[in-house]
Structure 1
């Protein structure tokens, strides 16, 4: 989305951050508070996405001005900015709305200063050196594709070969996990739309952006015509955290409401309203949400509420949970018992805990013995398995089940007398074998 003020300011807010410069702490002359409040009110009435809230705020600020509420801080612009913002929040708390004393930024906005060639070059260098924030792609066990995206930069043409290479690499996977847990940069809706386009066979309306300043609405579509023939139809899972914000929420919410993705993780940050800085004179700047997202399905957005996951879980556990959900879903469609067991093996492998200190040593001793060709023994606080000339350390999964090696798990089974009389071997291909204890 391009800002009517300047490309440079769009760049500054590209990642959902407020551009801060160190302004003067105090000024020799008192700020003309009446004029400042009047200017803030005019900007709010013209640009703020909620007109009725703007009216309530401006009325309160006018009352505060008449009470001389800002006189004591009129020579300290930083404190004045904080007090005005605090008063705004008394009427309507919008985390996007920020009042700051920032003469450098104010001057650039007022003068509509275009970015220098050096500044433009630096943004291009940033995008290229950071791989346009497409950070990792791999195929996980069980043929699950994984890609992490830490931001939606505006450089679509430059990033497109990277996107297509990454998604093309995952084209033969059964399911794809898109990790947005570190995507707190925000970004461009055009890039969001570009990435969405790879996951739809038909042109699909995903999000509208209602702009109060321009009094117009932009419609965003997932359009396979943008993807040079690459369409991915497998199930999609999206990982979120409380840091997931802005454009990443746009992507998550639209994919969820289009029934194209399952969200796993934490409720996201709740930023649906694009924000731009507006100069209000005397070195002050107010960041004002000037537009709002409008989902064509829900007729609302995620502002203030965040995107609600289909499965809520701590962000640190979301990747494992998503993999488990994928395997559980596949189990429901499994054609035979062996296929179900293969998936159960993959689920158990997700939760390997190498710290055996959580189990009492006397329990280890109950496991030790010879099970068919396998000799289980304890050395210190670790369990080992000897098979022919090979020795492997057992890693704990849960209860009495352990990882035997890269292709098998072993579970020690009690008999009716409470003794571990046999071991069940679960092989990665779904096979199950039993070995009696000698």
Structure 2
């Protein structure tokens, strides 16, 4: 592993290429991308003096084959530890501490409609369970609920299952993950019990989406939409369905490589590339008002 703060593009690119071969969820594409990086390196495309510029160039090449937005060479201004996944954890911890644990807004609108914002991400469940349980218990008494995912950039699949569990009455198969490492699948189900109160599986539920909604937040919307449990209001989401791992390949650079893919038990596929398509399309700015109007009309009916 590259440990010196001196930038040696050849070492960084070669290490990233090998990580693709060893871990990318799609082995054939991983081999192809590794060859692309090595060819570009030989052509002098990465002869740059700064880590940020190298990250930009390599990321563009990594995403040029299949558009996988989880693939990239991420630049970090502050040095990150060498252990796998450390860069992401250090970054999101700061966001966790400044967002009330990922539930920065709970509000009661008229007609008994509550709004719960989940942002900027769905943090690891062992961090956020208490905060989310408190927020979800608070809104459980509402007549209808709007969950705002417009500014949510992803997070932990276990947290997706935890949140979904509050909106379902029975234990339900939510998603299946295929993992390259070990060539295995892993099912995700809603929980038989939650620590607080459930909103339940029958009252009106609306999810707000935007072009910035990404990754695990997309899974939350997609799972509930496919089950027919929620109405998605807003814009098509970004389209990232491949969970990633991060490897530090330089003190300021992290190779982000998807190691799995989602398989929804209803659709048999996922939202990769095209995003979650809203049931009620509108601009992200108008989504809250639209969902509130829909909720009031349904409750009145």
TM over 0.5: yes
Q: For the structure 1 residues 273 and 328, does the alpha-carbon distance in structure 2 shift closer, same or farther, using more than 3 Å as the test? A: same
Specify the alignment match of 2:31 in structure 1.
55
Partner of 1:274 in structure 2?
Answer: 243
- Match of 2:213, SS? coil
Report the equivalent of 1:258.
Answer: 227
CA drift at 1:40: 2.9
Alpha-carbon distance change, 37 to 239 in structure 1, aligned in 2, over 3 angstroms: closer
* Residues in 2 aligned to 1:103 and 1:145: alpha-carbon distance in whole angstroms: 39
How far off its partner does 1:274 sit?
1.8
Greater relative contact order (CA < 8 Å, ≥ 6 in sequence):
2
Query: In the alignment, which residue of structure 2 is the partner of 1:303?
Result: 272
What is the CA-CA distance between 1:270 and the residue it aligns to? 1.6
Kindly tell me: are residues 108 and 72 of structure 1, through their superposed partners in 2, closer, same or farther at Cα, counting changes over 3 Å? closer
Which position in structure 1 is the counterpart of 2:19?
43
- Residue 225 of structure 1 aligns to a residue whose secondary structure is coil
Take 2:256 and 2:127, find their aligned partners in 1: how far apart are those partners?
29
| Alpha-carbon offset, residue 267 of structure 1 | 1.0
1:213 corresponds to:
181
Structure 1: gaps spanning 5 or more residues: 1-22, 335-438
Secondary structure in 2 matching 1:199: coil
Hey, what does 1:247 align to over in structure 2? 216
Q: Which residue of 150, 158, 165 maps to 1:190?
A: 158
Conserved? CA contact 1:201–1:231, under 8 Å? no
Choose which of 59, 76, 91 in structure 1 pairs with 2:65: 91
For 1:222 and 1:229, the matched residues in 2 are separated by 15
Residue in 2 aligned with 1:430?
none
Counterpart-to-counterpart distance in 2, 1:260 and 1:323: 17
Q: 1:77 to 1:252 in 2, by over 3 A?
A: closer
SS in 1 for 2:247: strand
TM-score by length of 2: 0.81
Deviations 1:201-244 (A, max 9, x none): 11001112222134333321112423456352312111111122
How far the C-alpha of 1:320 sits from its partner, in A, is 1.3
Separation in 2 of the partners of 1:127 and 1:200? 26
Q: How does 1:126-205 map to 2 (within 5 A)?
A: 127=96, 130-150=99-119, 151-156=121-126, 159-160=129-130, 162-184=131-153, 186-205=154-173
Q: Match for residue 317 of structure 1?
A: 286
Whole-angstrom distance in 2 between the partners of 1:126 and 1:84: 26
TM-score (norm 1): 0.58
Aligned residues: 295
Q: Confirm or deny: 8 A CA contact 2:150 2:208 kept in the other structure.
A: yes
Larger % of strand: which?
Answer: 1
